[in-house]
Amino acid sequence: MYDPIMRVLTVLEILQAREHVGGAELAERLEVNLRTVQRYITRLQDLSIPVESVRGTAGFYYLKPGFRLPPLMFTDEEAFAVALGLRALRQLGLSAFAPATEGAVAKLGRVLPPAVRESIEAVEEVVAMEAGPWVISTPAEILVRISMAIRARRRVVFDYESHTGEAMRREIEPYGVLHLDGRWYAVGRCLLRQALRTFRLDRVTRAEMADEPFERPAGFDIREYMLRSMPFVQSRYQVDVWLNLPYPEASKHFAAHRVALAEEDGGTAIRCGRDDLGMFAAMISSFRCRVVVRSPQELRDEFRALAQRALEAAGSG
């Protein structure tokens, strides 16, 4: 828990990072009331830090233009969080940032006080993190370039390899980027299809920002969009099965963004896209209920192969 002095310094950090900030927002972020925020502002002003204010219902605080203090006033917890966050980039499939990570950690180590520097060194010595097998590495420059295009409201053109291996050149109006299930996705309006499409960034190469501007739809929520569309995104097989399992119980076994579930005939219908039907068949078999495979035929073949392997295992020595 921060003591009052650290909360005052936190207010200063927020004011340095923002052009202006309202008292209510400061109170919410610091988990204090408005009167306490006013005391923190007064404390800063007593230290000759030029914090100005605009009164009224839409009032706010701001630092006098031109005033900036040196950054990097970290607590032990903040330094640890920064170092841990830098190391966690591999968990996001961004191992290409490794040189930048090493440089950032080295710079922090040179400028921080010894006690705080020890927090960063603790990450190096005692914390180990390895990316799971489901994490797909993504080129850092692709992520940066598309993110810049979104910010600049410019179209982006890139080469793309579909899930079937087909190579194509695409131009899109990018609306957002999201990391989900170990992969990075970009969502935007495809000029070729004239509709919203989702693209995996690990399949993107030669991304270039175009000159043509566009207007991003107001209120577009990439998380909500992916929640609805993710079950069917860029998969080799479209799966449709029915389980003799009540909907509440079936829903416990699936992430909401991975499948589309619906109550049907006293059981649960499952529709989704999958590249690996073997793993899906094995998971469904573990539910110990009646299964009806509507499509695809390849999933029935996987169940037959799974049954054969089970029989062989049951009869083994």
CATH architecture assignment, domain 140-229: Roll (2.30)
Residue 313 class from Cβ within 10 Å (0-12 exposed, 13-18 middle, 19+ buried)?
Answer: exposed
How confident is the model at residue 131, as a pLDDT?
67
What is the number of alpha carbons within 13 Å of residue 283 lying toward its C-beta?
12
| pTM: predicted TM-score of the whole model, two decimal places | 0.60
Q: Which residue has the tokens 């992969």?
A: 183
How confident is the model at residue 174, as a pLDDT?
96
How confident is the model at residue 99, as a pLDDT?
62
Domain borders along the chain are 4-63, 76-126, 140-229, 237-314
How confident is the model at residue 233, as a pLDDT?
66
Q: Are strands 167-180 and 154-161 parallel, antiparallel or unpaired?
A: antiparallel
How confident is the model at residue 185, as a pLDDT?
92
Q: Point out the residues of the chain with pLDDT beneath 50.
A: 1
Q: Which residue has the tokens 């499939």?
A: 93
**Contact 3/51 with Cβ under 8 angstroms?**
no
**Distance in angstroms between the alpha carbons of the first and the last residue of the chain:** 61
**Contact 239/291 with Cβ under 8 angstroms?**
no
* CB-CB neighbours of 228 under 10 Å: 11
Return the CATH number of the domain spanning residue range 4-63.
Answer: 1.10.10.10
Buried b / exposed e along 275-305 (16+ C-beta atoms within 10 A): eebeebbeebeeeeeebebeebeebeebbee
How confident is the model at residue 260, as a pLDDT?
86
How confident is the model at residue 171, as a pLDDT?
97
The vertex-90 CA angle with 86 and 95, nearest 5°, equals 95
The vertex-306 CA angle with 303 and 307, nearest 5°, equals 85
- Cis omega (within 30 of 0) for bond into 296: yes
**Interatomic CA distance for residues 189 and 187, integer angstroms:** 7
How confident is the model at residue 157, as a pLDDT?
97
Query: What one-character DSSP code corresponds to residue 258?
Result: T
> 3.30.70, 1.10.3470, 3.40.50, 2.40.50: which CATH number matches 237-314?
3.30.70
**Interatomic CA distance for residues 27 and 1, integer angstroms:** 16
Phi, psi of 303 (to 5 degrees): -65, -40
